[in-house]
Each structure stands twice: as structure tokens, then as C-alpha cells.
Chains A and B, each alone.
Chain A
Amino acid sequence: MSLDFKKLMNNTASSIPPSGIRKFFDIAAEMEDAISLGVGEPDFVTPWHIRDEGIYSLEKGMTYYTSNSGLKELREEICNYLNRRFSLKYEAKSQVLVTVGGSEAIDLCIRSLVQPGDEVIIPEPSFVCYKPIAQLAGGVPVTIETKAENNFRLTADELKAAITPKTKLLVLPFPNNPTGGVMDKQDLEEIAEVLKDTNVLVLSDEIYAELTYGDKRHFSIAQIPDMYERTILVSGFSKAFAMTGWRLGYACAHPELIKIMTKVHQFAIMSAPTTAQFAAIEAMRNGDEDIEMMRSEYDMRRHVMVKGFNDMGLDCFEPLGAFYTFPSIKSTGLSSDEFCERCLREKKVAVIPGTAFGECGEGFIRCSYAYSIDSINEALNRIEAFVKHR
């Protein structure tokens, strides 16, 4: 008897559309001389002293599981780091959970909190995972469109209008992938004012916290005293330390929340990779200079890309965080999908349609500047030629 897999599958999982990011990559991979601005991970290799600590841990035979929560030493270093860099105080024993990337921390947070029917507020455009995870937990995603005229920030009024008695969780994905938008202290205080008399919790995805540009450093909503207790801070090592392949992240929150998240984590994952945890201790202790070197390099590329798009007539908001630009392609009269498809076919440049990050991303494309200056220049030249002669 052949099985009817369509009927056997979980309906929710089956109905979730695939990520729109891969589509153009797959085509680009088959093309000779194609240039991609699509990859959302650093082009730097993990700094050597961090890799060396990982290797050293293997040489010493540290190949066992760690505790479910992660190495005690690493959790302590995460607390030191968050205090040093963002003035945030957490207790290593009860408030920190080491996870398999920031993504697992997001998944754990949503699954530990959201019950069927609970509403999860998600500003869009944003990273592709929040909505599907909320749906898989039986939650109802409620999206709020962030707008270019508001610098792609979530406003207090928009949030207020979206909150209902069913709202369980607000996702705050700032600095933002794909827009590069950030929320500063004042913006977050206004959000806090809306939340303070509610039971709404905050999942603050701060994976790009170290990649901010201009005068202001990243500010976490957890730094606001009223918000500390209700905020689950999610971050990781991938972006700040170029450690994507090590798969290591963490969540910091109230002990009651971490307790439940740890329970889900121990049943689903057991513990995060041991070698990566030893390497991460080194990153936390001695990685500040690496962060600054990479941030400075991204900043230079950011200037080049923003100017390049504006010069060719594609309005480009100045991103103050992450490593993406999100230029508007509305002036071309093409949809995001058409633009990306034609640009790839005709000029062999892969960029990501804004719609991959929510329907409201229509009219925009995401371009990563986690590429060498030479690649960025070449890609900009080709996109300009496409825009001029389309």
C-alpha cells in the first residue's frame, strides 16, 4: 500500500509556504558568473583565536554533552558581556539558556509561551521564522507593517491598535533583517508605555545588536526597568562574531520563563554543541575588537551600497543596523518578484524580493552587504544597467 503523505502530514506544517529567499539562490547557483547579494551571513571567517579555542577543546577531548542550559562558564561570560556592552544584568544560573543558534531560542520562546488562539504581534518586513513558528504553536500571527517613512520602526500607535485581549507576545526584531531599521531608546520607551499595563510579553530578537552604525549604539528594550521582567532577549554568536556555522545562540529572561524554555530545549535538543560553546567563551572574553573590525568594514560597504542605489534612482533608506539595504524598486514599475527574476536572468545578479519578508515588502528588494567591495561594485553596476535599460 502506498501512503498518502499529503493526508498524513501536519496540516499547519504543510500549509506554511516555503521561504521566498531560496528561490533565486537556486537559480543563481546554476548560472556562470552570477553575483549574489542574497546571503544573510557574514563573509568573514570566525576570528582565529575563537576557532583556536574550539580546536583546543577538541584536543583536550571535551567532546561530551554540556549541561542542558549550557556550560556554566559560558553562561557567566554571556552575563559579563551583556553587562559590559549593554548594561544588562542577568543571573547566569537561572536566567540564561544556551541554544542552537538564535533561531532555536526564538522557537523555544514562542513554543513555551503561545497557546492555541494566542495572538503574536510581528512587525513586518522581518526575518522569515516568526510567523511559521507561531502558527505551528497554534498561535495567530498579527502583522504590523513598518513603513519607510517611519524608518521601518514600529510605532506606539500601530502597536496599540494591534493589541487585543488575546495578545500574548510582541516580537521586536531590531536591528531588523531585512530593512536595517533600528529602534532607539526613545522609540522603545514609547513602546514600553503601551505595554506596561498589559500582560503582553516581548521577544526581543537582538541578533544584530552589535551591528549598528552612526552615533547611537544598540539599546535593548530590556534596559527599560518596566520591560526587563517581561522581555525574552534572544541573541547569538553568528552575526557579531561571524560564527554562523557553529550554531550557537542564547536566551536571557525571567527565571520562570527560562525554566520552561530549558525544559522544552532538554527534550528537543539536549544541549548546544560543546565545541562551539568553548569557542564562544573566547568570543565573549576577547572578541570586542573583532566586532569593531567587522562592524567598521560593514559600515564602509553600507555607505557604498546606499549611495549606489540612490545614485541609480532607487530610493534607499539609510539602514542603521544589520548588514542589509532595502531599496525601493517602485520607480521601475516592476513587482519585487519580477525585478529579482529579470535582474537575475538578464544581469546575473541575485537579490531577494521584499515580499520574502512579508507581503508589505512588495516594492522593495533586500541586498546584503556581507560581500567584498569589489562584488558590491560589480553588482551595483549590473543592477544600474538593468534599471536603465529594462
Chain B
Amino acid sequence: MSDFDSNKKSEKVLALLHDDCRRSLEQMATMLDMPMTEVAEIIDNMEADGIILGYGAHINWDKAYGSDAVAAYIELRVTPQRNRGFDRIAERIYQFPEVKAVNLMSGSYDFGITVQGKDIREISLFVSEHLAPMESVVGTATHFVLKRYKYDGIVCCKPSKDEREVMSL
């Protein structure tokens, strides 16, 4: 099997897992018209390679926590460290459990950080006491999330009802 075919199959397995990771191996094998052992091997390899980092649900946190749940997107400007660039700073930032995502960005700031907390005060304290005082950080801008419409490819308030009407065809 060529690398192209192998990558194509891996992509399909990933798409299925991302869509619903509760699917059985048998179901995925049937959907992809592949032997179950092959699907299992692909998944094992992707887990070993760190492509699959874990399995979880897509959660609408706004609904789960109600109005108490607060998320913020923080723009962080930093001075990269000699010989270590941005990686060392990122490693320090992602250790905090409040930090849900860290991305190195192009453009007017360096890191885009998603933080989650139980209220605005908790996030504000986190920024002022943990992020801003870090020696490499030269500036922050905090944007609180007011409402989540789409997250990780999934629309948060997606109607689930089948709206198709009766039709003779």
C-alpha cells in the first residue's frame, strides 16, 4: 500500500473518530469497507505516534455549567528566549490547568491562549497573577467569550430534528 493510500485511510479513520469516538471497531470497519484488524492497527499506530492524544466528547460547556462558565481568549505578547525561542514559554503556560489551548500565532501578538474558569474574577486573577508576571511576557489582552456558536467544527445549538417533509420520490 502506498503512503498516499495509507494516509487516506488514516484520514478517514480520524474523521470517524472525531465525529464519534464511541463507534465500535466493527462499525468503523464496515463503514470504511476495511478489515477490523486494519482499522485497529491504524488506530494503534496513530496513538503511538501521538496523532491521537485521547478520546473525549464534544461538550457545549455553556449548557453544562450554565451562566457560571466563563471562557476567555487571551492575546499574549512575549519576548522569545535565547536558544529556546517560544517553546519554553509555551511549556510554562500550558502547565496551568485553566489553560485549555495554546497556539503560537502570526500577526500582532505571539500566543493565542484559551482559558476557562468558573467566573470572570477567576480568569482575571489568573491573567494578572500568573500570565502577566511571567518574565518574558510584555503584554496581554483578554477577550471574554460571550456566547459559543461553533466549537471544534460542531455547531453548539444545532437543531437535531429531521425537517424533511413527505415527498413521493
* B binding-site residues for A, Cβ under 8 Å: 12, 16, 20, 27, 30-33, 162, 164, 166-169
A301 to B31, CA, bound (A): 6
**Could you list some 6 contacts between A and B, CB below 8 A?**
A19-B168, A21-B167, A39-B162, A40-B169, A300-B32, A303-B32
8 Å CB contact of A21 from B12, B16, B169: B169
Roughly how many angstroms separate A21 CA and B169 CA in the complex, as a whole number?
7
**How far, in angstroms, from A39 to B169 measured CA to CA in the complex?**
8
Label chain B's interface by main secondary structure: loop
- Does A373 contact B167, Cβ atoms closer than 8 Å? no
Interface residues of A in 285-337 (CB under 8 A from B): 296, 299-301, 303-304, 307
Does chain B have a CB within 8 A of A127? yes
**Residues of B with C-beta under 8 A to A26:** 166
- A307 to B32 alpha-carbon distance, docked (Å): 12
Name the residue of chain B whose CB is nearest to the CB of A103: B169
Inter-chain contact A40/B167, CB cutoff 8 Å: yes
In this complex, the interface size class of chain A, counting residues with CB under 8 Å from chain B, is 20 to 34
Are A39 and B164 also in contact (CB < 8 A) when A127-B169, A128-B169 are? yes
Docked-complex contact B30 and A128, CB < 8 angstroms: no
A22-B168, A128-B168, A177-B169 given. 14 additional CB < 8 A pairs? A19-B168, A21-B169, A26-B166, A29-B166, A39-B164, A41-B167, A127-B169, A300-B16, A300-B32, A304-B30, A304-B31, A307-B30, A371-B162, A373-B31
Residues from chain A with a CB closer than 8 A to the CB of B16 are: 300
* Contact, CB under 8 Å: A41 / B31: no
A43 at the interface (CB under 8 A from B): yes
A303 to B29, CA, bound (A): 9
* Complex A-B, nearest 10 residue pairs according to Cβ-Cβ distance, in ascending order: A19-B168, A300-B31, A40-B169, A25-B166, A21-B168, A39-B164, A303-B33, A307-B30, A303-B30, A304-B30
Q: Is the interface of A mostly helix, strand, loop or mixed?
A: helix
Q: Which residues of B contact A21 (CB under 8 A)?
A: 167-169
Give A13-33 as 1s and 0s: 1 = Cβ < 8 Å from B's Cβ atoms: 000000101100110010000
Q: Quick one: closest B residue to A311, CB to CB?
A: B30
Q: Give B168's nearest chain A residue, CB to CB.
A: A19
Q: Considering the chains assembled together, what is the distance between the CA atoms of A128 and B168 in angstroms?
A: 8
A371: chain B residues at CB < 8 Å are 162
**Bound form: Cα–Cα A39–B167 in Å:** 7
CB distance from A89 to the nearest CB of B (A): 30
In the complex the two chains form, what is the Cα distance from A299 to B20 in whole Å? 17
Q: Which residue on B lies nearest to A213, using beta carbons?
A: B33
Which B residues are in CB contact (< 8 Å) with A43? Answer: 162, 164
Q: How many Å lie between the Cα of A300 and that of B168 in the bound state? A: 25
Cα-based distance from A39 to B162 in the complex (angstroms): 10
Contacting residues, chain A, for B20 (C-beta < 8 A): 373
Q: A32 → chain B, closest Cβ, in Å?
A: 14
C-alpha gap A336/B101 in the complex (Å) = 55
Bound Cα distance from A373 to B19, whole angstroms: 11
Please tell me which one of the listed residues A22, A299, A307, A377 contacts residue B166 in the complex, with CB atoms under 8 A apart: A22
